[in-house]
């Protein structure tokens, strides 16, 4: 069974964890646009330089370049294997171009999975993250007895600026606004599976598998 998935999830929705579980279960390749950008900067001189110039300036990499990288990856690496795209497509034009590329390769998406987690829980998950400035260990305040001290080296833990509560709320709003048109696009194509992303990673994964089951039959 070759599976071809797109995975959506807000920051803190557990997308990374589910991507790893899906990758193992289906033997599919997990690909994020971040990985493609890093690979391009390492390998393909001209395209990589373009990617770098946009990222260094803090701009989004334009659709045309993203689509080039995705196309190359599909042809050179993914071929007839399954995949899980994460962080792509980001816009409806990207989604349209993606489906054209797949059609040319006689492929189509199996499903688009959207991990749905209510905002309050996302804010708690992210704003509770702490990092140790000395050993770089990551923690969540809920799992620490002393919420301010690294249990390994007793350094005072820090919170990333991005993870502060008001920053998180802005990130979540931006994500919801960006993703809505894409969710509508895939809903119309009958590909969207909205999965409750609350609870343990195993519980969420079981929900995903049971929703994918009818798609296989
Ligand atoms: Zn530490």
Interval between CA 132 and ligand 1 midpoint (Å): 5
CA 23 – ligand 1 centroid, Å: 31
Q: Which of 38, 44, 52, 129 is catalytic?
A: 129
Identify the active-site residue in 38, 44, 90, 211.
90
Residue 20 alpha carbon to ligand 1 centre in Å: 26
Phi-psi region of 58 (alpha: psi -120 to 50; beta: other; left: phi over 0): left
- Helix or strand (DSSP H, E) at 16: helix 15-26
Task: Tell me, in angstroms, the distance from the centre of ligand 1 to residue 153's CA.
Answer: 5
- Residue 40 CA to residue 186 CA, distance in Å, equals 28
Q: Where are the alpha helices (DSSP H) in the chain?
A: 15-26, 33-43, 45-56, 63-73, 92-104, 119-127, 165-188, 201-216
Report the distance separating Cα 54 and Cα 51, nearest Å: 5
Q: CA–CA separation, 140 vs 130, rounded Å? A: 6
What's the 129 CA to ligand 1 centre distance in angstroms? 14
Q: Which two tokens stand for residue 26?
A: 């289906």
pLDDT score for 138: 93
Q: How far is the CA of 17 from the centre of ligand 1 (A)?
A: 23
Place of tokens 């959207």: 114
CA of 138 to the centre of ligand 1 (A): 9
Cβ atoms of residues 195 and 116 within 8 Å: yes
Task: pLDDT tens for the chain, 217 residues: list them.
Answer: 789 999 999 988 999 899 999 999 999 999 988 888 888 888 867 888 888 888 888 888 888 899 999 998 998 888 888 999 998 998 899 999 999 999 999 999 999 999 999 999 999 999 999 999 999 999 999 999 998 999 999 999 999 998 999 999 998 998 899 899 999 999 999 999 999 999 999 999 999 999 998 887 6
129 flagged as catalytic: yes
Angle between helical axes of 45-56 and 33-43 (0-180°, round to 10):
120
- Verify whether residue 211 is a known catalytic residue: no
Provide CB contacts within 8 A for 108, sequence distance 6+: 4, 99, 102
Query: Residues 15, 125, 130, 207: which is the catalytic one?
Result: 15
Query: Can you give the pLDDT at residue 159?
Result: 95
- Catalytic site residue from 79, 160, 173, 189: 160
Please give the pLDDT value at position 183: 96
> For strand 129-131 and strand 138-140, is the pairing parallel, antiparallel, or unpaired?
antiparallel
Six-digit token string for 9? 């999830």
CA of 151 to the centre of ligand 1 (A): 7
The hierarchical CATH code for the domain 4-117+172-216 is: 3.40.50.300
pTM to 2 decimals? 0.84
Catalytic residue, candidates 4, 125, 130, 171: 171
State yes or no: is 4 an active-site residue.
no
Query: What are the boundaries of each domain within the chain?
Result: 4-117+172-216
């Amino acid at each position: 069974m070759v599976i071809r998935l797109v995975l959506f999830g807000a920051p803190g929705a557990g997308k990374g964890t589910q991507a790893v579980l899906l990758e193992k279960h289906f033997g599919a390749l997990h690909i994020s646009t971040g990985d493609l950008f890093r690979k391009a900067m390492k390998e393909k001189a001209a395209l990589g330089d373009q990617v770098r110039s946009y990222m260094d300036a803090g701009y989004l990499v334009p659709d045309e370049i993203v689509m080039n990288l995705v196309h190359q990856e599909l042809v050179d690496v993914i071929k007839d294997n399954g995949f899980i795209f994460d962080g792509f497509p980001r816009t409806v034009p990207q989604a349209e171009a993606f489906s054209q590329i797949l059609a040319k390769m006689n492929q189509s998406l199996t499903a688009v999975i959207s991990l749905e987690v209510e905002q309050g829980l996302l804010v708690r998950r992210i704003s509770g993250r702490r990092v140790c400035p000395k050993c770089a260990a990551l923690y969540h305040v809920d799992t620490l007895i002393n919420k301010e001290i690294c249990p390994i080296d007793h350094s005072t833990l820090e919170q990333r600026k991005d993870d502060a509560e008001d920053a998180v709320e802005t990130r979540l709003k931006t994500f919801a606004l960006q993703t809505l048109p894409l969710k509508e696009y895939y809903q119309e194509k009958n590909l969207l599976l909205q999965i409750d992303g609350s609870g343990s990673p195993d519980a969420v994964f079981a929900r995903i598998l049971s929703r994918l089951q009818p798609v296989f039959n």
